[in-house]
Structure 1
Amino acid sequence: MLAAWMRLKYPHLTVGALASSAPILQFENIVPPDTFYNIVSNDFKRESTSCFDTIKKSWGEVEAEGRKDNGLSLLTKTFHFCRELKSTGDLIDWLESAYSYLAMVDYPYPSSFMMPLPGHPIREVCRKIDDSPEGSSVLERIFAGVSIYYNYTGTASCFELDDDPHGLDGWNWQACTEMVMPMSSDKETSMFPPYDFHYSDYEQDCWRTFSVLPRPRWVTTEFGGHDIRTALRTFGSNMIFSNGLLDPWSGGSVLQNVSDTITALVTEEGAHHIDLRPSTPGDPDWLIQQRATEIKLIRGWIDDYSRAKHQKSTFNM
């Protein structure tokens, strides 16, 4: 996002911008608020409908287990937490985070961007869920699957719920000040628990957590977003919006060419900013071609700028 916004705000300082996985439309309901979680859900469903169904069913199982007299203790044991669960909500957040990040990093090769993971990690998660031993409960299947994300190396003996390996406190602060992204989960299309976005609840949570009030219209006021095609076509140039459709953030990005100089590169099998990651021997052909296209476009921008800069012009004052 920052690359696209910087090019728009400071065209005299930037020759062009490669905005990879940039959800510049994820604000003020410019895209439907259920877009993000629908994409995550579809990523799992494309690997296994039974995996999708098991995850969708698991939320009710978590709540039912938690209502038992010793339910939180049972859940703590099932999911190998280091400390006693205080609520089922904490477990649900832990699981939701894993599924969302898995969709972001569903790369075709092993990576350690968020956590050490195998190639096609969602496929491996679903394999664990679907191939659990006969008689395994829904929650035992879920734990087997989510362990691919949280413990692929097998070195963790238990899990800390308050651990923040991704530095999310910084992002949460941004989300409570400038980056207000409405998100919801549809009960029909999503594998996540259904819920609607209510700004008043969001505002209260931000105040309770950080003692700040969000500015939900700051991004669209500062950088635009509504009628983005007209804005980009009129004021923008030399921009690439690259997106992989497995990445849940792709739903809030620009997925079609806007002009001759504002290009959308979309790959069906790509995940979160995979084109910006280091090349590997396992890079598929489509990724190699995508990077080559980006380099060609960027070289063209630089060449055009250099020619214009060195061209002698005469001005009549």
Structure 2
Amino acid sequence: MKSMAMIDYPYPANFLTPLPGWPVKEACRPLNRNPSKSQRKNVWLLSHMVSLYYNYTGTTKTICANPEKCEGPYAQLGDPLGWAWQSCTEMVMPQCDSGLPNDFFPKTCPFTIEEFLNDCGKQFNSRGYHPGLIRPNWIIHNYGDHFPSASNIVFSNGKLDPWSGGGWKDSNTREGSLVSIILEQGAHHYDLRGAHKDDTDEVKKVREQEANEIKNWIKQAKEKYSKL
């Protein structure tokens, strides 16, 4: 469901795996339409979500969600365990799930590095992983965390994207030539995808704004250097 939320576009797409338009709504439709107190029926309804993500086309004979046993939907992006290894070594991002009643994912909040190491060990100890490999501050040490001279950047985030929590700002704002744009109905890099006939009006306006920002940067640069 987390990955499905990331690619919750208003039209059919196959960025990670083939899915219908607005896949989260489609996945939740049976639960909303047929609420039940029967655990057996609820498990069946949840299986609909799994099947939608892993076998929307109906052509997959066997559903396998274990990347160590088979190729998953991320296989087209490279080693399915590549991102997991990165996040257990250099790209440490403190994230956790609140659990019930906020969501149905197991409660993992508050985030602790000890528990994170434990989870990484379960996945990678057999491959030589050990606590000495984790560098939780590597990004800051390597790239810094304060850029007072930064300019000409548009930071766009969509509220449908679980990764938006790591964005620069959580509202539309501007600081000099740094611009934050928030899409209410935006999934992962939705504004950077190609134009589609079913695009929302919101993303059309955002793309136009982004293009105008870039045009303005170019105009200002030309004016500045034409005087030299």
Q: TM-score range by the shorter chain?
A: 0.7 to 0.9
Distance in 2, Cα, partners of 1:144 & 1:219: 39
Distance in 1, Cα, partners of 2:35 & 2:184: 33
Map 1:107-256; keep pairs closer than 5 Å.
107-131=9-33, 137-160=41-64, 161=66, 162=69, 163-166=71-74, 167=78, 168-187=80-99, 188-196=101-109, 197-204=111-118, 205-206=120-121, 208=125, 209-211=127-129, 213-225=133-145, 231-232=146-147, 234-255=148-169, 256=171
Q: Alpha carbon RMSD of aligned pairs, Å? A: 2.3
Contact preservation (8 Å) 2:152, 2:217: yes
Distance in 2, Cα, partners of 1:284 & 1:201: 40
Q: Residue type of the partner of 2:10?
A: P
Map 1:43-82; keep pairs closer than 5 Å.
none
Instruction: Please list every run of 5 or more consecutive structure 1 residues that lacks an aligned counterpart in the other structure.
Output: 1-98, 226-230, 313-317
Distance in 2, Cα, partners of 1:269 & 1:148: 21
After superposition, the Cα gap between the structure-2 partners of 1:210 and 1:108, relative to the gap in structure 1 and judged at 3 Å, is farther
Instruction: Please list every run of 5 or more consecutive structure 2 residues that lacks an aligned counterpart in the other structure.
Output: none
Match of 2:183 among 237, 259, 267: 267
Residue 292 of structure 1 aligns to a residue in which SS? helix
Distance in 1, Cα, partners of 2:58 & 2:88: 35
Distance in 1, Cα, partners of 2:82 & 2:104: 27
Deviation at 1:178, TM superposition (A): 1.4
Deviation at 1:268, TM superposition (A): 0.6
After superposition, the Cα gap between the structure-2 partners of 1:210 and 1:265, relative to the gap in structure 1 and judged at 3 Å, is farther
Q: What's the TM-score, normalizing by structure 2? A: 0.82
Distance in 1, Cα, partners of 2:182 & 2:176: 16
Deviation at 1:216, TM superposition (A): 0.3
Residue 157 of structure 2 aligns to a residue in which SS? strand
Q: Which is helix-richer, 1 or 2?
A: 1
Q: Residue type of the partner of 2:62?
A: C
Deviation at 1:133, TM superposition (A): 10
Whichever of the two has the greater Rg, that structure is 1
Q: Residue type of the partner of 2:129?
A: S
Q: What's the TM-score, normalizing by structure 1? A: 0.60
Deviation string for 1:118-147 (max 9, x for gaps)? Answer: 111011101133446987622111101221
Contact preservation (8 Å) 1:173, 1:210: no
Q: How many residues align?
A: 208
